């Protein structure tokens, strides 16, 4: 299969003291012409934010912004009037659309927060700004691919305004799954924790892998593993 391996240690790095971030794709002052994005998937930033620190209110537009918390709590406030704390097992989607302002802070004054911030280019500009947050049980993700985001919000997933299906999984050691990439589709895998064998390649936490050809992808955990799978239009 035609694949793009993105090792964790090859990602862009930003260190602001209170924020330590690793960028799978070009972002901010980090630019790599070989890694601008993957189809509509534009940003995967792995962020660690110190206690009580965070991003003050700032604007966004015409982007689907998704937060996936790995540990800790991420406090969100926005100009839509939404205020919430996002915790592990939850997914937040904010459609910036015509324009929204928001802030994100570590909810704890003692513990860091560790999360993925994901940006997906929407299928069209000028959408009405909106917000959605849902919790997914570990038992639902355990040893399975659980749909947590989709264009139509089916099966209780969060609505993403783009032709993308986002799956989350928690695999026990030596468990296997498969995912069939359909015609005119491609897949990006992002390992959150543990290690995963994918079609012969071994991925560890922070690694990403793009699979460009249709066909069956075999996924086998080497230890307790958490990962995301993005199934996108090619």
d(CA 102, CA 94): 10
Domain assignment present for residue 2? The answer is no
Number of domains, the chain: 2
Pairing of strands 201-204, 19-23: unpaired
pLDDT digits (tens, 9 = 90+) for 99-135: 999 999 999 999 999 999 999 999 999 999 999 999 9
**Do residue 204 and residue 226 come from a single domain?**
yes
CB-based contact 62:129 (threshold 8 Å)? no
CB-based contact 175:163 (threshold 8 Å)? no
Domain assignment present for residue 1? The answer is no
- Show the low-confidence residues of the chain (pLDDT under 50): none
Give the domain extent around 183: 139-233
d(CA 135, CA 174): 26
Please give the structure tokens belonging to residue 16.
């602001």
The domain boundary residue, chosen from 103, 136, 169: 136
**Do residue 87 and residue 40 come from a single domain?**
yes
CATH assignment of the domain containing 203: 2.60.120.10
pLDDT of residue 199: 87
pLDDT of residue 138: 96
């Amino acid at each position: 299969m035609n694949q793009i391996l993105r090792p964790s240690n090859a990602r862009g790095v930003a260190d602001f003291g209170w924020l330590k971030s690793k960028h799978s794709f070009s972002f901010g002052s980090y630019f790599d012409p070989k890694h601008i994005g993957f189809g509509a998937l534009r940003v995967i930033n792995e962020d660690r934010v110190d206690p009580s620190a965070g991003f003050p209110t700032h604007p966004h537009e015409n982007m689907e912004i998704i937060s996936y918390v790995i540990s800790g709590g991420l406090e969100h406030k926005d100009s839509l009037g939404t205020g919430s704390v996002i915790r592990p097992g939850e997914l937040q989607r904010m459609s910036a659309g015509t324009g929204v302002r928001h802030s994100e802070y570590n909810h704890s004054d003692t513990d860091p927060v560790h999360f993925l911030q994901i940006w997906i280019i929407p299928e069209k500009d000028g959408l009405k700004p909106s917000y959605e947050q849902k919790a997914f049980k570990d038992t639902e993700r355990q040893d399975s691919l659980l749909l947590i985001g989709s264009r139509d919000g089916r099966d209780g997933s969060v609505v993403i305004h783009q032709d993308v299906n986002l799956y989350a999984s928690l695999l026990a050691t030596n468990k296997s799954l498969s995912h069939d990439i359909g015609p005119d589709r491609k897949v990006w895998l992002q390992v959150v924790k543990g290690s995963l064998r994918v079609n012969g390649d071994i991925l560890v936490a922070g690694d990403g892998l793009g699979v460009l050809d249709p066909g069956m992808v075999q996924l086998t955990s080497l230890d307790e593993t958490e990962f995301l799978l993005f199934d996108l239009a090619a």
